[in-house]
Amino acid sequence: MQPTAAYSKSTAQVQVNSFVRSVYNWMAIGLALTGFIAFYVASNETLINLIYGNRLIFYGMVIGEFALVFILAGRIQKMSASTATGMFLFYAALNGATFSYIFLLYTSASIASTFFICAGTFLACSIYGYTTKRDLTSIGNFLIMGLFGLIIASFVNLLIGSSAMQMIISYIGVVVFIGLTAYDTQKIKAMAVSQPADLSAGVVRKGAIIGALSLYLDFILLFQSLLHIFGGSRD
């Protein structure tokens, strides 16, 4: 191998590693912000009454979360890097406020143990997605259809309130989000490898934010599914 070619390959690998590291850093910041906001809201009776005592506010926040995800996913290329970053962090904070219910329903010990189970599972799946030579595209497309099915089933269960159906949704959710974690990680690696070396810092940041959003959602939804299965009730 010629020295120039070796240098070029080494430089490309550094860029790939830097991008992937940025994705995981932003995902970690989002998760930390969500956890902090969730704990703070759960510790504040006024905020709990405001969010959960008024259906209009609660459902407005949930709709706002969906809107932020769709806007980020669909229009991020038209945003500045700072706007995309701000929207991601705002989404993480808003999600933390609506996620605060877990501290009211489940014991701290079960939340902590489930978090470590989720973190270990997520790490293993992400490593698999990053290192596997198998193309996960077909599996990922199937899992995305499964995700839409889970969303519809969850909304239906909000109306009927079946604990048995919720448990089934949770078990299916674990399978779906385990698979999506590997699939999204592989997509992020492919994105990193295919990026031109002369991209501006802002464009690279936006790519990292959209990748972080994907993995953030995988982690949060996997954690939520596992918590429904393993979480110990405060009652």
Identify the segments of the chain with pLDDT beneath 70.
1-12, 198, 235
For residue 115, give both structure tokens. 């978090």
The pLDDT of residue 130 is: 93
Contacts of 88 (CB under 8 A, 6+ apart): 26, 30, 72, 209, 212, 213
Report which of 54, 166, 38 is spatially closest to residue 102, judged by C-alpha positions.
38
The pLDDT of residue 192 is: 86
The pLDDT of residue 12 is: 66
The pLDDT of residue 10 is: 66
pTM: 0.90
Distance (Å, whole) CA 143 – CA 146: 5
The pLDDT of residue 157 is: 81
The pLDDT of residue 7 is: 43
Distance (Å, whole) CA 84 – CA 61: 19
The pLDDT of residue 2 is: 52
Q: What is the DSSP letter of 99?
A: T
| Rounded-to-5 percentages of helix, strand, coil across the chain | 85, 0, 10
pLDDT digits (tens, 9 = 90+) for 43-62: 999 999 999 888 899 889 98
